[in-house]
Structure 1
Amino acid sequence: MDILVDIATTIVAQMQKPTLAFLLGGMMLAALGSKLEVPDPVYKFIVILLLLKVGLGAGISIREADFVALMVPALGAALIGILIVFLGGITLARRRGVAPMDGMATAGLFGAVSASTLAAGMAMLDSEGIFYEGFIGALYPFMDVAALVTAIILARMSAARKAAPAAAGGTATLTVGGGPGFNGDLIKGILVDTLRSPAISALLLGIMIGLFARPESVYESFYEPLFRGLLSILMLIMGMEAWSRLSELRKVAHAYVLYGITAPIIHGLLGFAVGLAAHHLTGFSGGGVVLLAVMAASSSDISGPPTMRGALPEANPSAYVGTSTGLGTPVAILSIPLFIALAEQFIGF
């Protein structure tokens, strides 16, 4: 009982932090019909700056990081992304009223990472003075790419299996290198499109500059001081966007609503478990475990949607974008205090 009280106290305290307050404020403004708008170019500029900041910090830290200490959570991040997609494939994608292609696209977004949610988690840990490894940002592409590639391949393979009987006179055949709706260039195309997406490109650029150059002066004088202020504006935008996206869920099955509410918590707990294993194996910090859980709980809001639109044009954006942005993102951000409380109990800071 004392543990539950401690966790509840931590959650309540974290809900009063600026990061969550701006998110809830944005949702409230949208619910009240406010005409407040933030221009899309401003939103994109803020996201790029935040991702460059995360990437620069990760690149600077990678220079001094132990290889094993980095690769264990990195491989864990990729594994989480793949597991989340498979979990979505055997739950959401098989629910009545859910088209398999739409279900897999949604699972892919939930397996990928939200830059805004990761930034929110970092800001909350920073405000509490909780240490986490600087290379955390470098784990983003591992989980993001693994989830998106897995989801698109599974969706294409499923479509190919359905098309094969008609093409082969009733005999189902699937050739990985060139079956119906699936070919050997698919993986390459997905990887290229994902790595070229604005979010991953900005993050990888920051990592490369931080790793091979010496950007500490601009990082400390420009990116670091702006981080929390820009994040508060981003949270306000995300809150308004989340509320507006809820209307899209009326067009799809109720299964998406259930998935959007429960999946972030389940995925976050999966990420927490993998992070806890990395903690025992390599001494991965409690803050690092929290952020790995936050990445697992998040759903892609920048790199994922355009990737899905290009690779799975048959999928319904109202299903996967509405579920991800309308429910997944706010639930994931609001669950960050839960993961902080769990880390306090199981690891300590």
Structure 2
Amino acid sequence: MGDILSLAATNLISPIILSFVLGVVAALARSDLTIPEAVAKGMSIYLLFAIGFKGGAGVAAHGVDATLVATLVAGLALSFALPFIAFYLLRVLTPLGLVERAAVAAHYGSISIVTFVAATQAVRSIGLEPEGFMVAVAAVMETPAILVALFLARSAAKQRYKDDPDASEGLLQEVFLNSSVVVLMGAFVIGAVTGAEGMAAIEGFIVVPFTGVLCLFLLDMGAVAGRGMAQARKVLDAPLVGFGLLMPFVGATMAIPFALVAGLSAGGTALLLTLAASASYIAVPAAMRLALPEARPSIYLSLSLGVTFPMNLTIGIPAYAAVAQLVAGG
């Protein structure tokens, strides 16, 4: 418990977390603080490119081995399994209908790349070095949950595609060619191909400014989350909030045996637990708008961005890191 509290205290006073808090406070206080959409999108692309490139360079240095393959398989298995668990918990804890349970479950089976970035910075700040290939694991965990959600809500999805044949094509494009996946995986391939030489060539661009850009990005995310909290008070009742706080720890717990079997280090284990505990609020909402338009964004976006995301930033990541040190050493 002392380790968790120590890590949480360190994380809470980091510039990254405080930037997010500033955004939330500004939004709740009805400040006019906004970052232009084009600038926010540019920062998102920068962060994804930097993460992907560093991950690819890390794989080039590490090489393809059994640990890499086992971790990729673990990530896929978790992303397929977690939506079923979330769907069941939602049925037990909340009065949501089938379609909305499926839409919310998709968010909790997929991942938040921003939570992944914050966790990477946090574990490195306490001396843990995760495997470079974890960014590839994050990429493969983004889309399977969307397919599971369509299976869970297959009657609604089939009717949607019957009424609008172009919807299935649009969904496939949104799932496999959304900008976050393209940039992340494209940069990963570039980093893997160019290796150490490529990293040395652009290190000043993707390493030194990274934390500063992340602070500004989380300032904007905090403002978005704060506005969402203010608008969602009527739809987020106690059972839904309880789910948003409970499901991350269920996901992280499920990831522990996968991390142990794959043989991950303490840093890699912390990131796998974080990925399993995070909830998407970028790629999956876009897919759900196409696949399950009758599901209310006010529910699934408010849960993932307004409840789970800040909980993971402040409490979750330190807890996952502490558990990773306990089970994997470090």
The question of a shared fold, defined as TM-score above 0.5 by the shorter chain, is answered with yes
- Specify whether residues 189 and 34 from structure 1 end up closer, same or farther in structure 2 by C-alpha distance, changes over 3 A only: closer
Question: Contact (CA 8 Å) 1:53, 1:219: kept in 2 or not?
Answer: no
| CA distance in structure 2 between the aligned counterparts of 1:128 and 1:6, rounded to whole angstroms | 11
Gaps of 5+ in 1: 161-178
- Specify whether residues 186 and 239 from structure 1 end up closer, same or farther in structure 2 by C-alpha distance, changes over 3 A only: same
- Specify whether residues 25 and 181 from structure 1 end up closer, same or farther in structure 2 by C-alpha distance, changes over 3 A only: closer
Pick the aligned partner of 1:233 from 205, 216, 234: 216
Instruction: Identify the residue that residue 278 of structure 1 maps to in structure 2.
Output: 262
- Specify whether residues 186 and 276 from structure 1 end up closer, same or farther in structure 2 by C-alpha distance, changes over 3 A only: farther
The equivalences for 1:39-50 within 5 A come to: 39-50=36-47
**Cα shift at 1:52:** 0.6
**Cα shift at 1:95:** 4.8
- Specify whether residues 219 and 100 from structure 1 end up closer, same or farther in structure 2 by C-alpha distance, changes over 3 A only: farther
AA at the equivalent of 2:268: G
Question: Contact (CA 8 Å) 2:244, 2:308: kept in 1 or not?
Answer: yes
> SS at 1:35's partner residue?
coil
* Alignment pair present for 1:333 and 2:316: no
Pick the aligned partner of 1:193 from 164, 174, 198: 174
* Alignment pair present for 1:30 and 2:11: no
AA at the equivalent of 2:187: G
Instruction: Identify the residue that residue 59 of structure 2 maps to in structure 1.
Output: 62
AA at the equivalent of 1:330: P
**Cα shift at 1:134:** 0.7
**Cα shift at 1:106:** 0.9
> SS at 1:299's partner residue?
coil
**Cα shift at 1:337:** 0.7
**Cα shift at 1:317:** 1.0
Question: Contact (CA 8 Å) 1:121, 1:336: kept in 2 or not?
Answer: yes
Instruction: Identify the residue that residue 104 of structure 1 maps to in structure 2.
Output: 102
Pick the aligned partner of 1:249 from 229, 232, 238: 232
- Specify whether residues 253 and 46 from structure 1 end up closer, same or farther in structure 2 by C-alpha distance, changes over 3 A only: closer
| CA distance in structure 2 between the aligned counterparts of 1:152 and 1:226, rounded to whole angstroms | 39
Larger Cα Rg: Structure 1 or Structure 2? 1
**Cα shift at 1:251:** 4.1
| CA distance in structure 2 between the aligned counterparts of 1:74 and 1:191, rounded to whole angstroms | 22
* Alignment pair present for 1:206 and 2:187: yes
Judge which range, 195-204 or 32-41, deviates more: 32-41
> SS at 1:144's partner residue?
coil
* Alignment pair present for 1:266 and 2:250: yes
| CA distance in structure 2 between the aligned counterparts of 1:185 and 1:35, rounded to whole angstroms | 39
**Cα shift at 1:273:** 3.8
AA at the equivalent of 1:207: F
AA at the equivalent of 2:124: D
Question: Contact (CA 8 Å) 2:79, 2:110: kept in 1 or not?
Answer: yes
| CA distance in structure 2 between the aligned counterparts of 1:138 and 1:116, rounded to whole angstroms | 15
* TM-score, normalization by structure 1: 0.85
Q: Deviations over 1:186-209 (max 9, x none)?
A: 988644421211111110111121
| CA distance in structure 2 between the aligned counterparts of 1:347 and 1:108, rounded to whole angstroms | 29
Instruction: Identify the residue that residue 219 of structure 1 maps to in structure 2.
Output: 202
- Specify whether residues 127 and 143 from structure 1 end up closer, same or farther in structure 2 by C-alpha distance, changes over 3 A only: same
The equivalences for 1:287-302 within 5 A come to: 287-302=267-282
| CA distance in structure 2 between the aligned counterparts of 1:112 and 1:153, rounded to whole angstroms | 15
* Alignment pair present for 1:16 and 2:13: yes
Q: Deviations over 1:12-60 (max 9, x none)?
A: 2332222222222222222222221111111111111111111111222
| CA distance in structure 1 between the aligned counterparts of 2:139 and 2:91, rounded to whole angstroms | 25
Gaps of 5+ in 2: none
AA at the equivalent of 1:286: A
Instruction: Identify the residue that residue 171 of structure 1 maps to in structure 2.
Output: none
Pick the aligned partner of 1:318 from 286, 289, 298: 298
> SS at 2:128's partner residue?
coil
| CA distance in structure 1 between the aligned counterparts of 2:313 and 2:3, rounded to whole angstroms | 20
| CA distance in structure 1 between the aligned counterparts of 2:2 and 2:236, rounded to whole angstroms | 36
| CA distance in structure 1 between the aligned counterparts of 2:255 and 2:274, rounded to whole angstroms | 8
